[in-house]
Amino acid sequence: MNKWFLVVFFITTHFVNAQNSSISSSESTATNQDVIRAQPINGINHFRNFVIDEILKSFVHSQKKSIQAKIVIRFSVNEQGELVDFEVLENQSKSKLKIAEKAVLAMKKYPKWNPSYRDGKPTKMSCTFPINLNITME
């Protein structure tokens, strides 16, 4: 029986409003409170677990005994809640499994998010999604 031992798995998200550059430092803090950040409808943990599962499916079918990767993906959530404009910012993976590509494909399959709102109107928001994996099979 194969057992999986997950040594380290760390995913976080960092959200940046795509229109933040138009906010000057002299504007009041109240303006920043008028921004509602984009988020997955089922929550960030569901999104993270979905991406994890898709990556692990590739790993299970490979002959690899371990996988290590550090990946950072930037994407945008448009006004309709669709994930668009994917860009791999960092890809430190020695695996031939193309982990970054698998993560992007998983993110593209994920259902729409709740879009970001600025002053009550949907707006495009940029997000950064780092993934650090260190998985070994016992």
pLDDT of residue 57: 84
Q: What is the DSSP string of 110-131?
A: SPPEEPEEETTEEE-EEEEEEE
Beta strands, E only, the chain: 4-11, 14-17, 35-36, 39-40, 66-77, 83-93, 113-114, 116-118, 121-123, 125-137
pLDDT tens digits for range 43-102: 999 999 999 889 888 777 666 677 788 999 999 999 999 999 999 999 887 766 688 999
Q: Please, what is the average pLDDT of the chain? A: 77
Q: Is the pLDDT of residue 124 over 70?
A: yes
Mean pLDDT of 122-134: 93
Q: Is the pLDDT of residue 22 over 80?
A: no
Q: Name the percent of the chain lying above pLDDT 70.
A: 69
Of 129 and 68, the one with more pLDDT: 129
